[in-house]
Amino acid sequence: MKKEIKFSLVYRDMWQSSGKYQPRADQLARIAPVIIDMGCFARVETNGGAFEQVNLLYGENPNKAVRTFTRPFNEAGIQTHMLDRGLNALRMYPVPADVRRLMYRVKKAQGVDITRIFCGLNEERNIIPSIRYALEAGMIPQATLCITSSPVHTVEYYSTLADHLVAAGAPEICLKDMAGIGRPAMLGRLVKSIREKHPDIVIQYHGHSGPGLSMASILKVCENGADIIDVAMEPMAWGKVHPDVISVQAMLKDAGFQVPDINMKAYMKARSLTQEFIDDFLGYFMDPTNKHMSSLLLGCGLPGGMMGSMMADLKGVHSGINLILKGQGKDPMSLDDLLVMLFDEVAYVWPKLGYPPLVTPFSQYVKNVALMNVMQLVKGEGRWTMIDNHTWDMILGKSGRLPGPLAPEIVALAKEKGYEFTDADPQSNYPDQLDEYRKEMADNGWDTGEDDEELFELAMHDRQYRDYKSGVAKKRFEDDLQRMKDAAMAKNGFSEEEIRRLKRAKADPVVAPDKGQVLWEVSVEGPSQPPFIGRKYQHDEVFCYLSTPWGEYEKVMTGFTGRVVEVCAKQGDTVNKGDVIAYIERSEIFA
């Protein structure tokens, strides 16, 4: 009988590896039934990792988004899974144990079936408590091995770790090849070793396409006993993301495996919808280099999802570095020269920092140290002078044991600074805090939410949640989006005046009904806040007031619902009847 291989669509990770944001709840509601109609997915990755955080960043309730997305899959009998960073839970730094425990109760109630638990250090002390918390909440804990290629990351190393995680209660093991640099032959041997010792364990493989090994890796893990393969779909497949389900299905079918059929009509609709979401606003925050594959990633081992932020970092320091070189009488460096220099520095730094697998947040730590080293080297100064506190926590053992030994120069630097190393349980460094957050919600009159999900969001992402509640996050996003749109038009050769004309062409004017002085606030009617680019107005909302020559305050209404794209009159300006005060675009960014 042919070996059956199931597919999981990593919809969350497709976006996370391509750009800054996730689709909105209304977009997720539209795509979910189409994904179900494709008929080829046993599982869908719906949330986790940065999903909730980025929803907060653009002013949307993440709990609504998670429930909206998981519900159709629950009803269709398709399992949902999330990404979970172990000690760090859903964020970039450690989380108290009581908040971690609450997460699993909340996510189970929201319809998430499986939690993929990983630790960037492969530190079992950070993974095993999460296995226990997930089981207590009724979730399926999928314990994860963060795959990389180094002298210490051998088949025996990973196989032994898998033994410990299975013994702790994990019914599933995931091979998370986050940079796609796992060598196919090694991955095949690893899956075979796990399968021989644990014949009933579910094994799932997650591999990115960045350096180009992923298709060979998929074939090897399937030949050696893997059960489920993570796949993507166009227009976001390949590049720094994952292979497309069509190609994976064709390869495995030809190799003799039993694979599900794909409803191509639904696939094309899902493809079209995903592109629609990109065109709506998500594409403005995607670095085009994330659509490219690069064998250079094999040398540095960085995950493809970091390329966007890393290129932004490089562009930010590029001109500064060239100014330094010019002052030294040296030739300027191209961005490609700088990229290769940074990759080389990552390869130099990584072993000296103990070979932490390059996955969030440790990939960011290693990259940041390498970037600072590059800056110092260009200046003619020494390495290691700019290491941030989170990286020091990793070095000192506060995040767990490093896979390899630290270089003597790093140990000496820590002692020189008076820092102390620790081998204590990482969780002991981060005491419980849930009662403090519960009190903050009570003091603010905030509802803790269904199943305490709002309390969880505050405790997990306190700064972003406060900005979401105040409306600051939404305003910041709308301003950011407008800047990105303007930058895109400017990049395409439009002048500022042409950009204004284009925006006006898609908008409707708010005109002065009479001659008068524009006022944004009048005490008799209560405040009318000054408009800003991106602010939404309802059709029956007061836009501003006119102080007429005969001493009356006249309301100026929008007459339609939309968002401000240009403000033409300032506070106190005198306008004549028919003058344009502002332009508002009727098409909605948010429902």
CA dihedral sign of residues 514, 517, 520, 521: negative
Residue 524 has pLDDT above 60, yes or no: no
DSSP string for residues in 173-188: EEEEETTS-S-HHHHH
- Considering only 57-61, 307-311, 482-486, which range has the smallest mean pLDDT? 307-311
Residue 193 has pLDDT above 60, yes or no: yes
Residue 63 has pLDDT above 80, yes or no: yes
pLDDT grade, residue 521 (50/70/90)?
A: low
What rounded mean pLDDT belongs to the chain?
90
pLDDT grade, residue 308 (50/70/90)?
A: low
- Considering only 8-22, 138-152, 194-208, 544-558, which range has the smallest mean pLDDT? 544-558
Q: What is the mean pLDDT of residues 348-374?
A: 88
> Which carries the bigger pLDDT value, residue 419 or residue 524?
419
Where do the domains of the chain lie, and which CATH numbers do they carry? 297-428 (no CATH), 505-585 (2.40.50.100)
Among candidate residues 111, 109, 47, 31, the one with its CA nearest the CA of residue 78: 111
pLDDT at residue 226, rounded to an integer: 98
Q: What is the mean pLDDT of residues 153-175?
A: 97
In this structure, the number of other CB atoms found within 10 A of the CB of residue 52 comes to 29
pLDDT at residue 563, rounded to an integer: 81
pLDDT at residue 10, rounded to an integer: 96
Residue 257 has pLDDT above 50, yes or no: yes
- Considering only 195-199, 342-346, 456-460, 526-530, which range has the smallest mean pLDDT? 526-530
Residue 369 has pLDDT above 60, yes or no: yes
Instruction: Give me the long-range contacts of 425-429 (CB less than 8 A, separation at least 24).
Output: 425/125, 426/87, 426/94, 426/123, 426/125, 426/126, 426/397, 426/398, 426/399, 426/400, 427/87, 427/94, 427/97, 427/125, 427/126, 427/129, 429/94, 429/398
User: What is the DSSP pairing of strand 6-9 with strand 41-48?
Assistant: parallel
CA dihedral sign of residues 53, 54, 58, 61: negative
